[in-house]
Chains A and B, each alone.
Chain A
Amino acid sequence: MLKVLDSAVPVACWACSVAHNESTLFCPSCSKIQPPPGGNYFSVFGLVPRLNLDLGMLEHEFHKLSRKLHPDRFARAEENEKEWSLKDTALLNDAYRTLKDPIHRTEYLLKLNGAEIGEEHAGKGRIDPSRVPADLLEEVFDLNMQLEEMREARETGAKDAELEKSLQAAKKKFDGLMDEVDQELRAQWTAWDDGDEAARSAAQKTMVSLLDRRKYLNNLVRDVTETLGA
């Protein structure tokens, strides 16, 4: 059964009328499935928000909950239970998908704590000069020139082995920088998980800017990969 966590709003179970905590998926009293609870992706798994997660445990819990919640288990149930099973399982799947991925998990937790993280939605995210991290300014400028040259060469059907080599090298470098960012992020996880209020707020700030940098590098790598592979 799921632990009572962040929400203290008591709700009466639809089936047995016993009051339970809002963020529970099953009634603690009669075990019946409940409508999608409030709370967050962590509370779905009975966890407090934290960044260092045991992924093996998370998967195990995901399977355990799937067995109980999945619409397959409610094929012969009443309409309302079918509906909740569908919505609860969607919530469970959304939660698992977000939490198992280290970057998505970090972004999600920071957003939960009110951080503003640029939505990466549609579009290529062509390199936006105003967002270039200062230490990369020169390299990005060079890279953009090379990418442009490469695209032009592609259009005319020319092959420039020299240019290709240099782009491969750039990709390798940015991949390396991304790995660095990932390591720095991981270091901040522990600072956030174990720190007090002040440490958390500092870690949060660092992570937001690391995520920004990461997103930027990611776009660069994608552009280079696409141009090389085109």
Chain B
Amino acid sequence: MQGDAPVVIPGVDGSNLVPSVVALDPVPAGGGRPTVTVGNSARRALIETPERVIYSVKRLMGRGLSEVQQELKLFPFRLADDVEAGEVPRIQLGELRFTPPEISAYILRQLKRNAERFFNEPVTQAVITVPAYFNDAQRQATKDAGRMAGLEVLRLVNEPTAAALAYGLDRAKEGTIAVYDLGGGTFDISILKLRDGIFEVQSTNGDTHLGGDDIDNLLLTIALDEIYAEHGVDLRTHPSAVQAVRKAAIEAKIQLSTEQSAQFDIELPNGDRYQREIPREVLEQLIEPVLKRTSGPCKQALTDAGVTPEQIDEVVLVGGSTRIPAVRQLVDNLFHLSARGKRPHIELNPDEVVALGAAVQADILAGASKTTEELLLLDVTPLSLGIEALGGVVAKIIQRNSTIPASATEHFTTGVDGQTNVAIHVVQGERELAADCRSLARFDLKGIPPMTAGLPRIEVKFLIDADGILQVAAREQRSGKAAQIEVKPTYGLTDEQVETMILDSFDHAEEDFAKRLLIEARNEAESILAKVEQARMSAAWGQLTGEEVAAIDGARDRLSAVKLGEDLNAIREATLALDRATQRLAELMMDAAVSTAIRGKTMGDADVELGEGPTAPHPMAPAEFK
């Protein structure tokens, strides 16, 4: 927060967005564990070394093996080959294997470092946003990731609610708000009532398998099919070529939000060119089925909130995919906006608005500011909580859209004389059969005093906390004994597992902090200097003007002069200056890398070598991954 307003902290590269791309660098020459690169610089590796990169990991969080297998049909990553059913799936990245929370942790650690760099002090606590429709396991996985990144997660906030907070801050209004959030991988709709500074969520709905990725994949599939049909080249067997086409597809999609048509122009390995014009109407036809899938959840959310579209006073658009005109048209129709002379709110950057709202929530939790003193968020649980009853049917104990924290108390007994254990299967979802719902956990109530069947009375208290995560406590009432509960989460890591996955625990040590910042800044400096030297040999260098070369050399000399000094800010400023001076160079090299990848060459054959440090600069094409 700066004064009354939240602001986004930029990364080393000056960009406000850290795309959720994580790349494993090559194994260092002397052996040892390879480092991990995150964000814009990792995106380049998508084309160079696609087998060492993962993106959109959010879609894999808190999911079981079969679900991950389903998701991976759409993505180029592979499961580790030794994954067993019942454990958290791990993704193969080069020679290493990571669980989705670990990959998320790398992204969170990067954000933590960006913040530390900005504040010049350690950052140890965080508010993290999640899709409102995330279930218990997905939320728990997100919290685990925070812990692995060395962050105490003060609160998980639902993304649409956070967006409403960001918008609500400067308008002390009353009314009913709908937040339509279509991001890269997930869709959420939330209906909120705003009154006296209280943001009370009435209902939420969504789809955690729906977003911009699906649109990219549609375009990608068409391009790959056409390339095969017209040129007889099956690019699907070349992962880097697929990623290059994918990049072109994303660019075309983005372009079609403002232009009436976009071009595919891709050079194929056999020297042919795949050229195709995509008019906006074609894209709109293509994505209609995807967009339509957001209508059902919207209607359900309205019904659950007990309001008609006309009663919605404001609509807020969140997520990069809401830049698509067809999405805006759909929202307009759903909520009868233009018919009522209204327009959706798009004033805040749809990629940043959620982060801004999270900052507001953090300020509320800190209780430190007059601005947020009167604000309070009352959120709901998106899915009903139930227990499996006789015959596999679900007995709902907490209904969806209940304000959280929420609780329910149930009583259980034994069926056999002397029975000392009772098993409870907890599920989440709206279907009638437990098998059709999402299994959360199996609780084994142990240590029940042996009694005649039906005599013990075990009281089990289920509580969904403010993060939307379930807590359970049990007590045998006749003996007054607290029953032991053994929880077997259906999907998820145990506490011990999380403990072993915590990234560099020295992050906490405050005395090391200043030293670490200096070391990191020097590493950044070294990394960019090395890259500039490498780039001198590239074809791209030859395309620079004399002025550009002189600017790069000047910036390089300044950085070389200060890099070993103790002045952190001087190193950072000189690094940033060199980064700016090499921006066009980076773009030229990127273009070269794309066409190289398309031609199916390996980077070893290519004339550029693009090794990157973990926080290396160089912004690239506009970010769209979220």
Report B-chain residues with C-beta under 8 Å of the C-beta of A70: 376, 378, 466
User: Chain A 78-93, CB within 8 Å of chain B: the 1/0 string?
Assistant: 0000000011011101
Report A-chain residues with C-beta under 8 Å of the C-beta of B364: 72
Return the chain A residue nearest B467 by Cβ. Answer: A71
Nearest CB of chain A from residue B248's CB, rounded to whole Å: 43
Number of A-B pairs whose CB atoms are under 8 Å? Answer: 72
Report B-chain residues with C-beta under 8 Å of the C-beta of A87: 405, 407, 463
Report B-chain residues with C-beta under 8 Å of the C-beta of A67: 198, 376
Contact indicator B393/A123 (Cβ below 8 Å) = yes
Q: How far is the CA of A124 from the CA of B464 in the complex (A)?
A: 26
Report B-chain residues with C-beta under 8 Å of the C-beta of A94: 406-408
Report B-chain residues with C-beta under 8 Å of the C-beta of A154: none
Which of B198, B396, B404, B407 interacts with A63 by CB under 8 Å? B198
Which of B365, B393, B396, B407 interacts with A75 by CB under 8 Å? B365
Q: How far is the CA of A91 from the CA of B465 in the complex (A)?
A: 12
Nearest CB of chain B from residue A223's CB, rounded to whole Å: 13
Report A-chain residues with C-beta under 8 Å of the C-beta of B465: 71, 86
Report B-chain residues with C-beta under 8 Å of the C-beta of A90: 404-407, 463-464
Return the chain B residue nearest A59 by Cβ. Answer: B195
User: Chain A 56-73, CB within 8 Å of chain B: the 1/0 string?
Assistant: 000000010011001111
B window 431-483: CB within 8 A of A:
432, 463-466
Nearest CB of chain A from residue B163's CB, rounded to whole Å: 18
Contact indicator B466/A122 (Cβ below 8 Å) = no
Q: Contacts A63-B196, A67-B376: A122 and B406 contacting too (C-beta < 8 A)?
A: no
- Check if B539 is an interface residue, CB within 8 A of chain A: no
- Check if B394 is an interface residue, CB within 8 A of chain A: yes
Contact indicator A86/B396 (Cβ below 8 Å) = no
Q: How far is the CA of A86 from the CA of B461 in the complex (A)?
A: 13
Nearest CB of chain B from residue A16's CB, rounded to whole Å: 22
Report B-chain residues with C-beta under 8 Å of the C-beta of A89: 405, 466
- For chain A, which range describes its interface: under 10, 10 to 19, 20 to 34, or 35 or more residues? 20 to 34
Report A-chain residues with C-beta under 8 Å of the C-beta of B154: 75
Return the chain B residue nearest A121 by Cβ. Answer: B395
- Check if A76 is an interface residue, CB within 8 A of chain B: yes
Q: How far is the CA of A16 from the CA of B372 in the complex (A)?
A: 30
Nearest CB of chain B from residue A31's CB, rounded to whole Å: 16
B window 404-440: CB within 8 A of A:
404-408, 432
Contact indicator A122/B389 (Cβ below 8 Å) = yes
Which of B402, B432, B464 interacts with A97 by CB under 8 Å? B402
User: Chain B 571-595, CB within 8 Å of chain A: the 1/0 string?
Assistant: 0000000000000000000000000
Q: How far is the CA of A55 from the CA of B198 in the complex (A)?
A: 17
Return the chain A residue nearest B361 by Cβ. Answer: A72
Contact indicator B155/A75 (Cβ below 8 Å) = yes
- Check if A96 is an interface residue, CB within 8 A of chain B: yes
Q: How far is the CA of A27 from the CA of B463 in the complex (A)?
A: 24
Nearest CB of chain A from residue B497's CB, rounded to whole Å: 24
Return the chain A residue nearest B387 by Cβ. Answer: A122
- Check if B367 is an interface residue, CB within 8 A of chain A: yes
Q: Contacts A90-B406, A121-B395: A72 and B463 contacting too (C-beta < 8 A)?
A: no
Report A-chain residues with C-beta under 8 Å of the C-beta of B402: 93, 97
Nearest CB of chain A from residue B401's CB, rounded to whole Å: 10
User: Chain A 185-226, CB within 8 Å of chain B: the 1/0 string?
Assistant: 000000000000000000000000000000000000000000
Return the chain A residue nearest B464 by Cβ. Answer: A90
Return the chain B residue nearest A76 by Cβ. Answer: B367
Q: Contacts A90-B463, A93-B403: A123 and B365 contacting too (C-beta < 8 A)?
A: no
Q: Hey, which bits of chain B sit against chain A, CB under 8 A? A: 154-155, 195-196, 198, 361, 364-367, 376-378, 386, 389, 393-396, 402-408, 432, 463-466
5 closest residue pairs by CB, A with B:
A90-B405, A75-B365, A90-B407, A122-B393, A122-B395
| 7 further contact pairs, Cβ within 8 A, besides A66-B376, A72-B376, A75-B154 | A70-B376, A75-B155, A75-B366, A86-B463, A86-B466, A121-B396, A123-B393
What are 5 contact pairs spanning A and B, CB under 8 A? Answer: A63-B376, A86-B465, A89-B466, A91-B407, A93-B403
